[in-house]
Amino acid sequence: MTIPYIGAQEYFPGIGRIPFEGRDSDNPLAFKVYDANKKIGDKTMAEHLRFAVCYWHSFCNAGHDPFGPGTRNYPWDAAGVPLARAEAKLDAAFEFFTKLGVPYYCFHDIDMAPDADDIGEYENNLKHLVALAKQRQQATGVKLLWGTANLFSHPRYMNGASTNPDFAVVARAAVQVKAALDATVELGGENYVFWGGREGYACLHNTDMKRELEHFARFLTMARDYGRSIGFNGVFLIEPKPMEPMKHQYDFDSATVAGFLQKHGLDRDFKLNIEANHATLSGHTFEHDLQVASDHGLLGSIDANRGNAQNGWDTDQFPTDLYDTVGAMLVVLRQGGLAPGGLNFDAKVRRESTDAQDLFMAHIGGMDAFARGLEVAHALLNASPWEQWRAQRYASFDSGAGQDFANGQLGLADLHALAVKSGEPVKLSGHQEQYENLLNQYLLRR
Ligand code: XLS
Ligand code: CA
Ligand code: CA
């Protein structure tokens, strides 16, 4: 992936391969921290972070919001009929991936190919674009992190896709999931995502939640069985989000989805794709939802972005907060990495950011923020007293009666007897400030 891919037309002229220039560079189009081949422990930065660019925000979304249309004029959108525009967009996307130097991308069926109500036309459009994408993947070495189907934009899905109260819509949703799974397998995708944007309700009065959730599990089971039957060996991912567009979404957060997967026997094939801004929407921190997923053995992949503390809604901003990236990488490193998942920038430049180079700068900032998060988390875990302090806090369970309790060898009456014998427990400080200061100290260190 050293030579940028340029199709029939160059869509980002004047911008070449983004170089690594180090911390003292002021060049906005250079990496300051992300040095793909730099070793952190036993893996390179590229191997740890497995960055992906998302197709929808970066090449489809021109900046519209509920109050106004897009503000960016994409040259690939000027290419005539829908199929020609989709081909031009594909060229622009691969030019961007290779100039930025990311190893992966992610897409929804109808980001890449024109949608159509006619099923045959929809399937042919997607097959055509997938064949072209496959050629570009082979030419550039860029790979597919995950594919997915958009089951939330078309008006037919207004009451849900696989949880729709109308069976005809559930069956229609299967058309897209089948096609997107076929596409993912054809492109060697390492994961397949379900984000249930309309799987939830606007009003509980007219909703049989129990029935809808049973249908949801049935549909996911069918998708898994179909995927495995066509040779998909990757990981199925559910992406939690508590609300927006619906008032309530069934895949509320990590804990909810973990319980759902276990209840329906899906936890061997499915893991979670945790998006930062969705975790904060559900009232948690990003790090919290990652940790819950990881503790269940279900942290599969990450959608890297951030929300806005003042607004609260899903603003999908590029991640720049180093506390967030250190927190995320602590969870990732402790579980031994993310592969075959990765870090997908499900983030969009602001509506007011209208230059082509803004898209590069946004990704450079996100990649540098996660690279620094990786460096600091790795140092905290391997060269600081952090883990030792944490382990020490639980040391009373490592031997004696504490260990017997943890191993299930004591009853409540035994604890009572021990408490009577030991008297009032001595207070043990949690030392929160000590951890916070250590984190800052390592953030400042070169
Ligand atoms: C929307 C979701 C969506 C999924 C893929 O909020 O983040 O983009 O990642 O369908
Ligand atoms: Ca997402
Ligand atoms: Ca989002």
Q: Which of 48, 57, 108, 288 is catalytic?
A: 108
CB of residue 289 inside a 6 A radius of ligand 1: no
Ligand nearest to C-alpha 345: 2
The answer as to whether 21 is a domain residue is no
Let me know whether 78 and 154 are in one domain: yes
Helix spans in 77-142 (H): 82-100, 109-112, 119-140
Cα 143 to Cα 92, 133, 182, 322, distances in angstroms: 16, 10, 16, 27
Assess contact for 258 and 207: CB atoms under 8 A.
Answer: no
- Choose, from 35, 91, 111, 269, the residue flagged as catalytic: 111
Strands 143-148 and 191-194: parallel
Q: Among 353, 383, 413, where does a domain finish?
A: 383
- Identify whether the C-beta of residue 442 lies closer than 8 Å to the C-beta of residue 376: yes
3-state SS assignment for residue 193: strand
In DSSP notation, 212-260 reads HHHHHHHHHHHHHHHHHHTT--SEEEE---SSSSSSEESS-SHHHHHHH
The answer to whether residue 4 sits within a structural domain is no
Ligand 1 within 6 A of 193 CB?
yes
Do 394 and 378 lie in one domain? The reply is no
* Whether residues 312 and 437 fall in one domain: no
Specify whether 368 is catalytic: no
Q: Which domain holds residue 417?
A: 386-444
Residue 244 Cα: closest atom of ligand 1: 6
Q: What CATH number is given to the structural domain containing 45?
A: 3.20.20.150
The domain total for the chain is: 2
Verify that 149 and 186 share a domain, yes or no. Answer: yes
- Report the DSSP beta bridge partners of residue 301: 273
Does the C-beta of 305 come closer than 6 Å to ligand 1?
no
Write out the two tokens for 294: 């990881």
CA dihedral 308, 309, 310, 312 (to 10 degrees): 70
Does residue 8 form part of some domain? no
With contact defined as beta carbons under 8 Å apart, do 72 and 354 qualify? yes
Residue whose CA lies nearest to ligand 1 atom number 5: 195
Q: Are both 176 and 65 inside the same structural domain?
A: yes
Across-strand partners of 419?
A: none
Dihedral angle computed from the Cα positions of residues 214, 215, 217 and 219, in that order, rounded to the nearest 10 degrees? 170
Full pLDDT tens readout for the chain, 446 residues: 568 999 999 999 999 999 999 999 999 999 999 999 999 999 999 999 999 999 999 999 999 999 999 999 999 999 899 999 999 999 999 999 999 999 999 999 999 999 999 999 999 999 999 999 999 999 999 999 999 999 999 999 999 999 999 999 999 999 999 999 999 999 999 999 999 999 999 999 999 999 999 999 999 999 999 999 999 999 999 999 999 999 999 999 999 999 999 999 999 999 999 999 999 999 999 999 999 999 999 999 999 999 998 887 889 999 999 999 999 999 999 999 999 999 999 999 999 999 999 999 999 999 999 999 999 999 999 999 999 999 999 999 999 999 999 999 999 999 999 999 999 999 999 999 999 999 999 999 98
| 285 and 215, same domain (yes or no) | yes
Name the residue among 124, 43, 52 with its Cα closest to residue 93: 52
Give distance in angstroms: CA of 50 to centre of ligand 1.
18
The pick from 282, 289, 346, 348 for probing ligand 1's pocket by mutation, whose C-beta has the most ligand atoms within 8 angstroms, reads 346
